[in-house]
Chain A
Amino acid sequence: MGSDLRPAITRAAEAIVRQDAGAEEQMRALREAGKDRRTEMLKEIAAFLSDSNSTEQSMAGALILNRLEFTADEKIDVALAGLPTAAPPLRRVLTDLLSTVDRPEGAEPDFAVYESRLRKPGPPPALIRYLYDVSPEAAVGIMERVFGAGAAGGSGEKVQIVTRILSRAGAGAAPTERDLAEARRALEALAADEAAWWRRLYVAALLSREPALATPQLTSRLRHDADPRVREALAP
């Protein structure tokens, strides 16, 4: 049996699309219904958005979501709870929720907002996966800050090398063989760091989106990595 909130969300969205006089009233009713059920309300809105199949539904749902003014923690909690089992459409909505937290203006992600959650024992795997999905370089950066204090060396310089080469390629300039070799050397060094899973995870996440940088040796090493997060990140 579905939540009673869902029909209310649908009615409000329809009124918004029609721009009729009842929209305000529908919205007030929706706010009242969810007053003490903010998490449930947010989940239901996310589900409504993931089921939407038109601009009308999508944008009206987005309007409702914004007007109910969910906090960053509410968004993070709902997203992290839902991501492990979410189907692709809902996963997209949940990651969009997180994007409003870490990229409120669409710029480069600022993952510092998740630092406190990462520092807790057993950081949520869904959060880690999300971070590396969005930006492997930003993810490894926050991981170094959280976990790297006792680790030897660092990833910064090597990540910069790879980022620079990929940035040029992404702009439309084909990478040279020299560039590719340099990037592969940096990735091989990071992948060989047995003590820092987050660096190896960076390499796996990067190769999954930039297969041209892979070498058979690198791929084989990561496929047999001791950390399941690394192995999973490399999987297609």
Chain B
Amino acid sequence: MGAGQVRPGGRAIQARLSGPVLLALVVVMAGAGGLEAAVTPGEATDLQVTGYDAATGNLSITWQPACSAAGHHIEYGPLQDVSTHGYTGQVCALGTSGSYGAFNPGAGSYFFLVVADDGVGTEGSYGVSEIGGAVSELPPDTVDPVCAFVQNLAGRCDGPFAPVVGIALYRPGSGGNPAPFQRWQVPPAEKLIPGAGIRVNGDDDDADGVPDRDDPSVAQENDLVEATLTVDTPSPPAGYEYVLARSNANIRVFDSASKGAEILTSGSVVPVAFASTSRTVWVENPAGGAADLQLAARRISDGALVASDTAHFFPITSVVIALGGENQVPADPPSEPTNHGTFQLAITLYRMGYDVRMYDEDVVPANGAGAAYNEVVAAIQKRSVSHVAIYGYSHGGGSTNDLARRMDANRAAIGAFTLDFTAYVDGIDNDSDIDIDPETALPPTTAYHANYYEHPGCGFLQLCGGPIAGANLNVNVTATPWGASLTHYTIDDAPNVLQGIQDLLVAHVPR
């Protein structure tokens, strides 16, 4: 296989090369002026015998010049020696036009190939072939009786093409959260397992009456997952391309946060171009279900991947409501980093992949209505959420119960859900901002309730929570070695309390 083969006196055999493995042309280019070349020529392709002059015995040949070549030359030998690469002759200085009309090795049958060179002293690859069961570089002509070139394959301009590609994912956008979280990257180690949570986009962020999944453009869209695609070589070499692929239609990919142009439409694979080493796309989950997204570099001719990176997406099925204490304003980063433990925990959970909403507890009046309730209902009815968790500190604990009670009372109208987890941190009833009674009620239907409270005797000028009948966990921190000195004003920042709630929530609430 190899080069073009010709039997003088017979008909020219056209050797059309479909890939580098086959054969014969090779090219080399070089640096100039005796300097070491940074790039050596690539491999010429598509060698063809285009004519045979019976009168002279000359062959006319063409080929695709190699990249970075300053010249080309022919290496040839007797056909019977093709398997041992027995070169016996050369034709030098064929230039870079990609054609030569006077190749005449003489009587007999020959193999030949075209090699690129730098026009000075360096030649490139002779191509590859299966040698001894493995695809290997053809050995060069080391005798060089006519064209004195030394092969140098380092830095060849045509490969091998082995780019570095990557997908970086970020936690879902604000979701309408009045206290949006900072942009946070999904840890690369979690990109496949468990993957990145993504909200089912059945809500209507632009309030135009069209569910966002059916809306081609959503100005206030806030449920898509940002994905940064990176490549180290923005323009792949000839014969290669970058593609974006999805495993199924559970995800859609757009070029903007408000949807805009859909990149992956009805198909599952589409070429993607890069103007620089990265571009951002936005992923939507229209109706639930998991899917993979892959960025790959592939050979166009046969689709073989030369590099890829894959991310897994799963639909978020839960919502976590975090309710701070009186006058604690939710924010990321917290406005008081060492004094807003409720929101520190919310931020941690968000970064772990939970869909968390942080609220000032005042959004939950005593009847449980309001923004937090509306968010839970919307999550259940519009985003396929079926698991709910609520926790709160001080008045936020009281509001946790208020919200849970309303959800339970309206269960039939809301739709199917389970209240998987609730927690109080020194919960105080929240009938008003000036209520100081301990919250004593268990949130109805909670599957697991954790109650951390401090109770140093509850004196005349002390606020304190108390045990909750029916709770799965009651921890009087005052009776613990680590929490004896905690007060109502410091219990929400205690690492043991925050870690305890985090661990329990994670154990009981799916993402």
B434 close to A49 (CB less than 8 A): yes
Instruction: Tell me if B16 is interfacial: C-beta within 8 Å of chain A.
Output: no
A59 close to B413 (CB less than 8 A): no
In A165-218, the 8 Å CB interface with B consists of 168, 170-173
A sample of 24 cross-chain residue pairs with beta-carbon separation below 8 angstroms, ordered by A number, consists of A17-B487, A52-B327, A54-B328, A54-B336, A55-B324, A55-B394, A55-B489, A58-B326, A58-B327, A59-B394, A59-B428, A59-B488, A61-B434, A62-B326, A62-B433, A62-B436, A63-B461, A63-B463, A99-B431, A99-B432, A103-B431, A105-B431, A106-B430, A172-B377
CA distance A16 to B488 in the complex (A): 10
A63-B463, A106-B366 known; A100+B328 contact, CB < 8 A: no
Instruction: Tell me if B462 is interfacial: C-beta within 8 Å of chain A.
Output: yes
B406 to chain A: closest residue by CB: A171
B328 close to A55 (CB less than 8 A): yes
Among A62, A67, A97, A168, find the residue whose CB has the most chain B CB atoms closer than 10 A: A62
Instruction: Tell me if A96 is interfacial: C-beta within 8 Å of chain B.
Output: yes
Residue numbers in A under 8 Å from B492 (CB-CB) = 55
Instruction: Tell me if B467 is interfacial: C-beta within 8 Å of chain A.
Output: no
List B residues at the A interface (Cβ < 8 Å).
324-328, 336, 339, 366, 369, 377, 380-381, 393-395, 402, 409-410, 413-415, 428-436, 460-463, 487-489, 492
In A1-48, the 8 Å CB interface with B consists of 15-17, 19, 23-24, 27
Q: How far is the CB of A197 from chain B (nearest CB, A)?
A: 27
Residue numbers in A under 8 Å from B326 (CB-CB) = 55, 58-59, 62
Among A61, A171, A173, find the residue whose CB has the most chain B CB atoms closer than 10 A: A171
Q: How far is the CB of A130 from chain B (nearest CB, A)?
A: 14
Residue numbers in B under 8 Å from A155 (CB-CB) = none
Instruction: Tell me if A229 is interfacial: C-beta within 8 Å of chain B.
Output: no
Instruction: Tell me if A53 is interfacial: C-beta within 8 Å of chain B.
Output: yes
List A residues at the B interface (Cβ < 8 Å).
15-17, 19, 23-24, 27, 49, 52-59, 61-63, 65-67, 92-93, 96-97, 99-100, 103-107, 168, 170-173
A55 close to B327 (CB less than 8 A): yes
A67 close to B413 (CB less than 8 A): no
Please tell me which one of the listed residues B394, B434, B489 contacts residue A93 in the complex, with CB atoms under 8 A apart.
B434
B433 close to A49 (CB less than 8 A): yes
B429 close to A65 (CB less than 8 A): no
Q: How far is the CB of A61 from chain B (nearest CB, A)?
A: 8
A59-B463, A103-B366 known; A54+B327 contact, CB < 8 A: yes
A58-B326, A59-B394 known; A93+B433 contact, CB < 8 A: yes
CA distance A170 to B365 in the complex (A): 13
Classify the secondary structure of A's interface with B: helix
CA distance A54 to B435 in the complex (A): 15
A96 close to B432 (CB less than 8 A): yes
CA distance A173 to B410 in the complex (A): 9
Please tell me which one of the listed residues B414, B431, B489 contacts residue A59 in the complex, with CB atoms under 8 A apart.
B489
Please tell me which one of the listed residues B429, B432, B436 contacts residue A63 in the complex, with CB atoms under 8 A apart.
B436
Residue numbers in B under 8 Å from A65 (CB-CB) = 434
CA distance A49 to B394 in the complex (A): 16
A62 close to B409 (CB less than 8 A): no
Among B431, B433, B488, find the residue whose CB has the most chain A CB atoms closer than 10 A: B433
Q: How far is the CB of B404 from chain A (nearest CB, A)?
A: 14
CA distance A27 to B459 in the complex (A): 13
CA distance A173 to B369 in the complex (A): 14
B434 close to A100 (CB less than 8 A): yes
Please tell me which one of the listed residues A53, A66, A173 contacts residue B327 in the complex, with CB atoms under 8 A apart.
A53
Please tell me which one of the listed residues B324, B410, B433 contacts residue A92 in the complex, with CB atoms under 8 A apart.
B433
Q: How far is the CB of A132 from chain B (nearest CB, A)?
A: 16
- Known pairs A100-B434, A172-B413, A172-B414 / 8 extra A-B pairs, C-beta < 8 Å: A16-B461, A17-B489, A27-B460, A49-B434, A55-B324, A55-B393, A61-B434, A168-B413
A66 close to B436 (CB less than 8 A): yes
Q: How far is the CB of B503 from chain A (nearest CB, A)?
A: 24
Q: How far is the CB of A152 from chain B (nearest CB, A)?
A: 33
Residue numbers in B under 8 Å from A59 (CB-CB) = 325-326, 394-395, 428, 436, 463, 488-489
Please tell me which one of the listed residues B410, B431, B436, B462 contacts residue A106 in the complex, with CB atoms under 8 A apart.
B431
A62 close to B435 (CB less than 8 A): yes
Q: How far is the CB of A175 from chain B (nearest CB, A)?
A: 11
Q: How far is the CB of A99 from chain B (nearest CB, A)?
A: 5
